[in-house]
Chains A and B, each alone.
Chain A
Amino acid sequence: MDTKWKKCKKIGSFTAFVLGWTLILVNLIPVIAVYKRIGGSLLDGPACQYQESSEFKGAVSDRLMRLLAVATEGKSGQAYDAALPEYYGYIDAQETYDKILNDTALAQENMTQDVLESVEEAVAEGAVTEAEYADYQAYMEEQRLHDNEVTMAELGLDPDDYYDDDSADYYYEYADDYADYYYGYDFSDKKSRDAYMADIAPNKNILYAVVKQGKLLYTNIESLAPFAGKDNEEWKQVDFQTVLDPLAYNFTLRYNKDGDGMVQIVQDGAQQDVYGDGVYRDYSPWRVPGYTNFTLGESAMDVEVFLAAASAPKLYMVGNGSGGVNSYGQRFYSLYLEAIELRSAFVRKGVLLLAGVILLLLAFLFGKDRRLAVEQLAGLLGKICLELKLLLFLVLVTLLICAGGAFGGNLLGQFLWWIRNGFAYYIWSGDTLYEIENFTTAGKYLAAFFWLFYLTVLDFRKNRTKQKKPLLDLLKEKDFKYPIQKRLVKRDRRTLLAELVVTVLLAVSICAFYLAAGEYMNYLMGGYAYEFVEEYGGRSITNVFLILAEMTFCALFVFTLITFYSLKKNYRLAVDIGALTDQILAVREGNMTKELILPEDTDLKEAADNLNGIQKGMETALAERMKSERMKVDLVTNVSHDIKTPLTSIISYVELLRQEEDLPQYVKEYIQILGEKSERLRGIVQDVFEVSKATSGQLPIQMEMLDMGKLLRQTLADMNGQIEESTITMKTTIPQEPVSVQADGQRLYRVFQNLIQNTLRYSLEGSRVYLTLIRQAGEVVVRIKNISGMELADDKDFTERFVRGDESRTDGGSGLGLSIAKSFTEACGGKFQVETDADLFTVTVRFPDVDDVLSEEKQES
């Protein structure tokens, strides 16, 4: 039960962790973008939200500008011109447009004149009939009309007769909105003014009243319609503020109410700050006159304008009399709809985001369980081999980036754009929901990236040292088969290749970017890129990217060049390292004479010299060691010789004494002791001499093939007397068939003689000694086990000279038994090993199995 609960907690906290992060990542961008879009007044009604947008402010400003132009019969244009140089260009465009139009007309007239002359000539000559000439003139007139629509308005013609259906629909569908964007009006012309006013009147989302010199010129407020064009007492009583329902029209703008040329805005009954610090800038929200640097001249001083915006805009549909429908008020209606949609989307996404945060908090509350789950996940990841993981990672990243292509191939750039700007204006399409879903999709990609990198980092952090990488290991193993210089050169080549690939890829992508840059920017700028870049190209973010990419490419190119040259140098280094490695191997194998000479200017010259120094030092040390070994043997030889001479005298005189018959019994006993001890001394001297020779490698060895089993049996038979005299029982296991070894029989006999003597001397009384001979894993193994009579010290090396199991014992051997056995065994090419386990004393002598070697050789041949 308890473990089940724990498991539940573990799974639950991990799920909360994953779900929490995913929800946050998916919904964060939409929430931020929507917030950016709808601004601070999240909790106000939708009306206020749509009125917060810069789009709304722009539309109101536009409308005011047009109405002012109408009221002043175009004269306000110069003031706008001065305040809004070129950029907005609405008024300026009028002049430019006219100029172009005139030029074209003039050119056309000239051309027509030429043609007319030639035609008249042709008529005069009788080549063209009068009827043909009339047709031609009609065609020319039509052509002239078709070429520019402005003249249509001038001429009071119905454009419907001249435009194809599509452009007509476009023109009429958003009639009033189009009117605000349309440059073609000539407000100095009464007809044009009326056309404009007719276009905007049906849009009741924005109500207006234009007053000039106290006379109501234009209005689309129904209750004021009767006063239009009049200047009576009743009209003077009208208060714009009370004419309209303040709930239906919560936004009012008044221009020149107090005769100061300023604009006053009242929203929801509150006066709004229009001018800020009073200076007009490009990004000032209200593009209206009244700033210190933006005032209208005398022309507008007798004009008063009232504007009111609906709190809940509607779409006004009016039949156009030719079977179609003209819709008015689309601009505010779209903004309003968008605000509603944004608000609901904000709530929807916000709830999900909040849920994500709560889940994440929960996950962190159960952090311990979550970490357990993460560990388990890391364990699972560790089981997958590295190559597969790398492949998966690359494939997934590529897929995600390709999928991100839906965002212009630049997911990150798109993110940044959105976060900075909210999203683009789509007032004509009203695709708000589509946009929000786009954000959500982007959020999903972000989440996918996040989890991919989370897993990667997790794997890297937890499994760094225990990655399974069979393929890479295989490559590595293969790599290690090459000598070091080849390995180094190969690695360098790989680096260079990778760099070249990156450079080429970057170059190709920069070229592609250049080619696609126009389209790309056009996309980013929502179709305005070409104009935008023309004027602001130098400041364009895209251009900065381009310059950065170019610089990166250049840097990489230079880097590749530098790498190439340094790798060229490294090639030389690799060769030297190889030589150095070979030299180290040579030194290790004992070649002390070959010196490594590298050229003066190479990097490893010093290292090579140092190695030569070490080599020389070792050579000297080795020579000195050999010398001192020789001296040691010489010393032992001399010492033993010097001992032997007096010993000879001692033994001889003891013998003489022994032959004396008249001595008392106790003196004879003394002599007996003297005899025994001098004999023992003789043995010790001999042993010391032999051990020192054997350990210094100067013991003459006559290797021959012999039967180890037979040797052991002979030794046991030779020592049978001693064995029988002792209380020890010998248990031997020696195979009957020959067990051949290559050794010096005499020396080997001494080895086992010493070992058996040892067991006889030091075993526990009445205990058994086990002597076994086996062939095992290519070796001939002789093992002698006995139980020590004395307690064995753990940390004693029994093969050291003069070491005994028991320090206090003075009788018996020289203390050289094991030492002789060991040095003789090794001199014969065998291995000698002593092990103690409590009182169990085990000696193991190993020799290579000659039969095994022979049979192997046979097999090989």
Chain B
Amino acid sequence: MNECVLVVDDDREIVRAIALLLEKEGYRALKAYDGMEALRVLAENEVQLIIMDVMMPKLDGLSAMMKIRERKNLPIIVLSAKTEDTDKILGLSMGADDYVAKPFNPQELAARVKSQLRRYTLLGGIHAQNEEDEIVNGRLCYRLKERTLYADGEPVRLTATETKIMELLMRNRGRIFPAEEIYERVWEEPSFSPENTVMVHIRHMREKIELNPKEPEYIKVVWGIGYKMEKM
């Protein structure tokens, strides 16, 4: 595993810490402290992934990302101290593959790096082949015949019930299911106060598939209504 990650931030200590963390995970880390430098390093080295801060001198993260996207299709994780949803959406729409808010959990960042790299290297880019018997949603892929869920190409161990719930949600991505419906369709019996039961399973599933279970990206609670699988 010699994937090379470019870490770009104007805060040298953060760059160093991230680099150290990544190296501990077995990646090669390159450092840059502003957008221009990042572009130069990128031109000179073979880089598989970029972790880049938004607010930087000379050339800011978003502008640098746009320049990079002109030529390269490598995954970019954006770091930002701004946590507002609009910033996140802006970052993702301008070509970022992932968005991590500062102050981040280092392990989460590592997980995200790993996830992005696996998808990039193993599946050959963002747009993976969509076969008929599998449902792909972001980094998740549910193979109907195997009744198995793959996250970043790796199978996830789900219990039978969890699998049923996952299949239901994956088949109906974006649709909101009330707890009662999930219960009735998975357990196939009338429900009575199913909220707790469903929630327990969902929590377990999140722990297995989400990079940060506390801030889930895929299985979401729609408060006051139900649950849904976010369509990526």
B-binding residues in A (CB < 8 A):
640-641, 644-645, 647-653, 655-656, 659, 678, 682, 686, 689, 700, 704, 706-708, 710-711, 713-718, 720-721, 741, 743, 745-746, 748-749
Contacts and interface: CB of A to CB of B under 8 A. Distances in A.
Contacts of A640: 81
* 10 nearest A-B residue pairs (beta carbon): A706-B224, A745-B223, A652-B17, A711-B224, A717-B199, A655-B106, A648-B103, A713-B195, A647-B103, A749-B223
A651 B224 contact: no
Given A652-B18, A713-B193, A717-B195, A641 B82 contact: yes
8 contacts: A652-B14, A652-B106, A656-B20, A656-B21, A714-B221, A721-B203, A745-B222, A749-B221
B187 to A, nearest CB: 16
A710 B106 contact: no
B197 to A, nearest CB: 8
A480 B86 CA distance: 52
Contacts of A715: 223
Interface residues of B, number: 34
Contacts of A650: 103
A708 B224 CA distance: 6
B224 A707 contact: yes
A710 B21 CA distance: 42
Nearest to A707: B224
A682 B103 contact: yes
Nearest to B18: A652
A714 B224 contact: yes
A738 to B, nearest CB: 9
Given A645-B11, A652-B18, A656-B20, 7 more contacts: A711-B224, A714-B179, A717-B199, A743-B224, A745-B223, A745-B224, A746-B223
Nearest to A685: B103
A749 B227 CA distance: 14
A717 B224 contact: no
B125 interface: no
A711 B179 CA distance: 11
B130 to A, nearest CB: 31
A655 B14 contact: no
Interface in B8-36: 11, 13-14, 17-18, 20-21, 24
A575 to B, nearest CB: 52
Interface in B208-232: 221-226
B106 A651 contact: yes
Given A706-B225, A748-B223, A749-B223, A649 B17 contact: yes
Contacts of A720: 196, 199-200
Given A649-B17, A656-B20, A720-B196, A710 B224 contact: yes
B200 A645 contact: no
Contacts of A689: 83
B161 interface: no
Contact of A649 (B13, B21, B179, B222): B13
Interface in B146-181: 178-179
Nearest to A652: B17
Given A710-B195, A717-B196, A652 B21 contact: yes
A94 to B, nearest CB: 127
Of B11, B103, B106, the most chain A CB neighbours within 10 A belong to B103
Contacts of B86: 700
Interface string B194-207: 01101110010000
A708 B225 CA distance: 9
Interface string B119-156: 00000000000000000000000000000000000000
Contacts of B226: 710
A655 B103 CA distance: 12
Contacts of A741: 224
A655 B224 contact: no
Contacts of B24: 656, 659
Contact of A700 (B14, B85, B195): B85
B103 to A, nearest CB: 4
A651 B105 contact: yes
A746 B104 CA distance: 21
Nearest to A711: B224
Nearest to B20: A656
B73 interface: no
A332 to B, nearest CB: 118
Contacts of B21: 652, 655-656, 659
B107 interface: yes
A714 B195 contact: yes
A748 B224 CA distance: 9
Nearest to B198: A717
A573 B225 CA distance: 60
Contacts of B179: 710, 713-714
Nearest to B225: A706
B203 to A, nearest CB: 8
A640 B82 CA distance: 9
B185 interface: no
A704 B20 CA distance: 45
Contacts of B67: none
Given A714-B199, A717-B199, A718-B199, A644 B224 contact: no
A649 B85 CA distance: 23
Contacts of A653: 13, 17
A716 B195 contact: yes
A655 B20 CA distance: 10
Nearest to A656: B20
A746 B18 CA distance: 32
A739 to B, nearest CB: 10
B58 interface: no
A710 B178 contact: yes
Contacts of B105: 651, 655
A697 to B, nearest CB: 15
A670 B213 CA distance: 26
Nearest to A738: B224
A721 B196 CA distance: 10
B173 to A, nearest CB: 20
B81 A641 contact: yes
Q: Which of B107, B200, B221 has the most CB of A within 10 A?
A: B221
Nearest to B197: A717
Interface centre among A656, A713, A717, A749 (most CB of B within 10 A): A717
A648 B83 contact: no
Contacts of B221: 714, 718, 749
Given A714-B199, A717-B199, A718-B199, A656 B224 contact: no
Contacts of B107: 655
B147 to A, nearest CB: 26
A652 B83 CA distance: 18
A682 B86 CA distance: 20
Contacts of A682: 103
Nearest to B223: A745
Contacts of A659: 21, 24
A717 B18 CA distance: 36
Contacts of B195: 710, 713-714, 716-717
A708 to B, nearest CB: 7
Contacts of A716: 195-196
Contacts of B14: 645, 648-649, 652
A682 B101 CA distance: 11
